[in-house]
Structure 1
Amino acid sequence: MHDLSDRRPNRFVTLNCAAIPRDLIESEIFGYVRGAFTGATDNRAGAAEQADRGTLFLDEIGEMDLLLQSKLLRFLQTGTFQRLGDTQTRKVNARIICATNRNPVAEISAGRFREDLYYRLHVLPVHLPPLRERRDDILPLAKAFLERYSHEERRGFRGFDADAESRVVSYAWPGNVRQLENTIRQIVVMNDGAAVTFDMLPMAIRDQSSRPNSIIDLSRERSRAAAPIRAFGSIEPLWAQERRIIEDALDAFDGNIAMAAAALEISPSTIYRKRQSWLARSG
C-alpha cells in the first residue's frame, strides 16, 4: 500500500506494540524531550513524527493499553500530538495502518480495546486469511526465509528437495507466517547442505498424523541425530518422484483430488492421468 501510493518517497515506519514495554511505548510513538524521564538525555522524534507524509504501521495494536489508546485516538482525530514532557503541539500527516492477531470485537466486549478507536481505525479493513488458505504463498515465503537465514548463518542451502517441498506446502501451519519463518530459521541453524531435506523438517511437521496445533519441542529436535547431508534427494526416475509428491498431497487432503491439485498447482485431470499411468506400470 505504501509503495503503490503517493507517500512512497517518504518513510514507512513500523512499530511492534507487543515488543515494547508499556511504559515506553508512548515515547516510542510520540517521542520525548530532554529530561522527560530518567535517561532522556536528548530530544527524540517518535514514530508518528518520523512517518510524517509517509506511513505509520502499528503492529499488534491489540496489545496497547487503554490509556495510550485514548491518546492514539486523539492523534488520529486531530493529527496533532505532544512529545512526552513537551508543551509544544506538533502536527503530522501520516497514513496509519494497524494489525492485530486478536478478534477486535471480542477485545471490545472484554473491555480491553476502545470501541471508538476500533471504529476510527475500521475505515478499510483487510482480512488476511491463514497461510493454509493461501498455499501459493507458502513456498515463495519459505524460499525467501531460507535465502535470508542461509546468508546470515553462512549455510549452503539453495532450495528444498521434492519430499521437503511437498510437506512444507501441504502442512497446515497453524502459527501462520511466523511459524513458517521460525521453522526455516531452526532448520538452517541446525543443518547444512545444498537442499533442505525431509529429514531436516521438525518432527511435528514431518508427521502427518500430528495434531495441526501441536507445538514443536525445539529441545527434542536438537537432541535428535543430525540427518545425513545429501544433494537434492535420492536419484530415482522422474515419474517416481512425481508419484510420491502427488500421493503426499493426496494424503494431506484426505484423498481430495481437487484440493491436492490446487496445492500442487496442477489440474485434477493431471492427477487422474498420472494415477492411470502408475496402474499401467504396476500391471
Structure 2
Amino acid sequence: MEQTPPSILIVEDSQVLREVYSGYLATEPYRVAAVETGAEALAALARHPPHAMLLDLRLPDMDGMEILRHVGAQRLPTAVVIITGHGSVDLAVDAMREGAFDFIEKPFNARRLRVTLRNALERQRLSSLLDSIQETFDRDRYHGFIGASLAMQAVYRVIDSAAASKATIFITGESGTGKEVCAEAIHRQGPRREAPFVALNCGAIPHDLMESEIFGHVRGAFTGAARDRVGAAGQADGGTLFLDEIGEMDLDLQTKLLRFVQTGSFQRVGSTRQEAVDVRFVCATNRDPLKEVAAGRFREDLYYRLHVIPIELPPLRARQDDILLLAEHFLQGFAAEEGKAFQRFAPATAALLRDYHWPGNVRQLQNVIRNVVVLHQGETVDPEMLPPPLSEHLITPPRATPTEPAQPAPAAAPTTTPDPGIQPLWRVEREAIERAIAHCDGNIPRAAALLEVNPSTLYRKRQAWQSGEG
C-alpha cells in the first residue's frame, strides 16, 4: 500500500515568492499548496493540517505569530518553519520558543529550503511515532480492564494485534484474573463488536446438559425438552463464542467440539441436520492445559486446534502497581452505589493492600473493598476496617507511651537485679526504626531497605504508635 506524500503549506503574501518556493519543491515528493493571507492559512489548517508549513511572519491581515500560536494551541501535527527577513532573527528566535521547528532567513536557495523541510518532516514523523508509542504504553484502562503495569500493557498489545483476526485465542490465568473481561475486550476491539458475544462457563453446567447448552436441542431430544432450543453456538453466529473453564468439559464432548472448531458446523442434540455458523472461538482455563493433556483429561488435538494465540493473564501479585488503581476504582464505585462518603485510603491501608499477596486476585480485592464500604462509615479507609485475612496483618501496639511505660502491679521482689542496659523489646524496635527513618530523611522505603523489612511494616508500626499516643 502506497503512502500518501507529505503535504506542505506555503503561507507567503508575495505571489512571486510563493511561485519561487513552490518551484524549489517541484522535484520533491510533496503535495504543495500555497496561500496569501493568514485567514486562508487558518482555513487550510482547519480543513486538513499539513505535515509542514512554511510561514512568513509578515502577512497583510495578521501577524504570522498568531497562526503559529494557533498550531500550538490546537496541538496540530504540523511542523512550522518560519521565513524571516534580514535583521529579524530575534523575532524568529521568539517564534521557535512558541514551537516553530526552525527558521530560514531570506534570501535562501532551493537546497536550504529542501534540507530544512526534510528535517522538519522527519522530526514531525518521529514526534507522531513517539506519541503513538506513549499512547500505547500509558493506557490504564482498556475495554473493562484497569491497569497500567507493564504486564497489562503486554496483554493490551496482544489483544490489539489479535482482535481483527479470526484465529482462536486461548486465555490462561488464575481464578479472578479477569479471563471473561479479556474475552470481551477481544470481542469489542475486533470487527465483530456489533455481533453477539456469548459466554458459557463449562464449569458451572452439569455434564449431561453441557452439550445442549453449547449446541442446542430439538423438541423431544430428552426428557424435559418440550421445544427446540438454540444453543450458545447458534446464538453466537457472526460474533464470538467464549468457552470459560474449558478444561471441565468431558472427553466425549471435546470430540464434538473439535469437529465444530474444524468445520464450523454442528448438530443439535436429537437432530440429524448439520448447521453451519460463523463464530470466533475464545476459550479459557485456570488450569495448566499441557498438564491436563498429559493427564489424559484434555484432548491433545483439541488443545493444538484451540491454542493458536495464547494470552496469559498475570496474577494481581505480579501487578503491584495496579493494586491501588483498582482499589480506588472499586472504592469510588461501591461508595456511590451504597451512598457512602469514602474517598481515599489511609497510607497504612494503601501499604497493606499493595503488599498483600491476593490469592483470589482482582475478584478478592473487589470483594474486600465492597466489604469495607458496606460495613463502615467515613471518608478514609483505615487499616482496622479491612476484613480478614488482611486484618490479621495488623500489629497491635503497646498502649503505654514510650516515655512512661505502664508500671506493673506491685509483686514480690525479683530474684535478680535488672540490668540497666536491658530495655523492653518494643522500645528497642521503635528506636531502631526511628533512627533508620531519621537517617534516611523521612524516606520510609529507604529506611525499610536498610532494616530489611517491608515498607508496609514501618507504616503500620508508625500508625500504631501514633494511635497509642493518642
Shared fold per TM-score greater than 0.5: yes
Query: Secondary structure of the residue that 1:99 maps to in structure 2?
Result: strand
Gap change, CA 1:24 and 1:256, over 3 Å in 2: same
Once residues 84 and 249 of structure 1 are traced to their aligned partners in structure 2, the CA distance between those partners, rounded to angstroms, is 67
1:167·1:206 contact (CA, 8 Å) conserved in 2?
A: no
Structure 1 counterpart of 2:205, one-letter code: I
Structure 2 counterpart of 1:165, one-letter code: A
Gap change, CA 1:10 and 1:254, over 3 Å in 2: farther
Structure 1: runs of 5 or more not aligned: 211-242, 261-283
Deviation at 1:209, TM superposition (A): 8.8
Aligned with residue 170 of structure 1, among 350, 355, 359: 355
Matched with 1:179 is: 364
Once residues 109 and 180 of structure 1 are traced to their aligned partners in structure 2, the CA distance between those partners, rounded to angstroms, is 34
Structure possessing the higher relative contact order (Cα contacts under 8 Å, 6 or more residues apart): 1
Aligned with residue 389 of structure 2, among 199, 204, 208: 204
Identity %: 56
Structure 2 counterpart of 1:187, one-letter code: V
Query: Secondary structure of the residue that 2:188 maps to in structure 1?
Result: coil
1:170·1:249 contact (CA, 8 Å) conserved in 2?
A: no
Gap change, CA 1:54 and 1:195, over 3 Å in 2: farther
Aligned with residue 12 of structure 1, among 197, 201, 205: 197
Once residues 153 and 175 of structure 1 are traced to their aligned partners in structure 2, the CA distance between those partners, rounded to angstroms, is 24
Deviation at 1:72, TM superposition (A): 0.9
Deviation at 1:113, TM superposition (A): 0.8
Deviation at 1:119, TM superposition (A): 0.5
Q: Does 1:23 align with 2:216?
A: no
State the Cα deviation string for residues 203-250 of structure 1 (Å, max 9, x = none): 32244499xxxxxxxxxxxxxxxxxxxxxxxxxxxxxxxx99955995
Gap change, CA 1:206 and 1:12, over 3 Å in 2: same
Once residues 233 and 248 of structure 2 are traced to their aligned partners in structure 1, the CA distance between those partners, rounded to angstroms, is 18
Once residues 22 and 250 of structure 1 are traced to their aligned partners in structure 2, the CA distance between those partners, rounded to angstroms, is 53
* Residues 77-116 of structure 1 aligned to structure 2 (within 5 Å): 77-116=262-301
Number of aligned residues: 225
Structure 1 counterpart of 2:254, one-letter code: Q
Query: Secondary structure of the residue that 2:241 maps to in structure 1?
Result: strand
Gap change, CA 1:154 and 1:65, over 3 Å in 2: farther
Gap change, CA 1:192 and 1:65, over 3 Å in 2: farther
Structure 2 counterpart of 1:76, one-letter code: V
Deviation at 1:66, TM superposition (A): 1.1
* Residues 28-177 of structure 1 aligned to structure 2 (within 5 Å): 28-150=213-335, 155-177=340-362
State the Cα deviation string for residues 151-201 of structure 1 (Å, max 9, x = none): 665555444333322221221112222322333333344334434331121
Structure 2: runs of 5 or more not aligned: 1-185, 396-440, 457-470
Once residues 196 and 245 of structure 1 are traced to their aligned partners in structure 2, the CA distance between those partners, rounded to angstroms, is 23
Structure 2 counterpart of 1:191, one-letter code: H
Gap change, CA 1:13 and 1:248, over 3 Å in 2: farther
1:162·1:245 contact (CA, 8 Å) conserved in 2?
A: no
2:338·2:373 contact (CA, 8 Å) conserved in 1?
A: yes
Deviation at 1:31, TM superposition (A): 1.3
Once residues 187 and 320 of structure 2 are traced to their aligned partners in structure 1, the CA distance between those partners, rounded to angstroms, is 25
2:187·2:193 contact (CA, 8 Å) conserved in 1?
A: yes
Query: Secondary structure of the residue that 2:200 maps to in structure 1?
Result: strand
Query: Secondary structure of the residue that 2:311 maps to in structure 1?
Result: coil
State the Cα deviation string for residues 4-32 of structure 1 (Å, max 9, x = none): 11111111111111111112221111112
Matched with 1:218 is: none
Moved more, 55-64 or 188-197: 188-197
Gap change, CA 1:58 and 1:164, over 3 Å in 2: same
Deviation at 1:142, TM superposition (A): 2.8
Once residues 111 and 246 of structure 1 are traced to their aligned partners in structure 2, the CA distance between those partners, rounded to angstroms, is 52
Q: What root-mean-square deviation, in Å, do the aligned CA atoms of Structure 1 and Structure 2 show?
A: 3.1
Larger radius of gyration: 2
1:33·1:42 contact (CA, 8 Å) conserved in 2?
A: yes
2:383·2:394 contact (CA, 8 Å) conserved in 1?
A: no
Structure 1 counterpart of 2:235, one-letter code: Q
Once residues 265 and 276 of structure 2 are traced to their aligned partners in structure 1, the CA distance between those partners, rounded to angstroms, is 4
Once residues 47 and 244 of structure 1 are traced to their aligned partners in structure 2, the CA distance between those partners, rounded to angstroms, is 59
State the Cα deviation string for residues 68-91 of structure 1 (Å, max 9, x = none): 111111110011011222222111
State the Cα deviation string for residues 242-266 of structure 1 (Å, max 9, x = none): x999559958x95589xx9xxxxxx
Structure 2 counterpart of 1:17, one-letter code: C
Once residues 380 and 447 of structure 2 are traced to their aligned partners in structure 1, the CA distance between those partners, rounded to angstroms, is 20
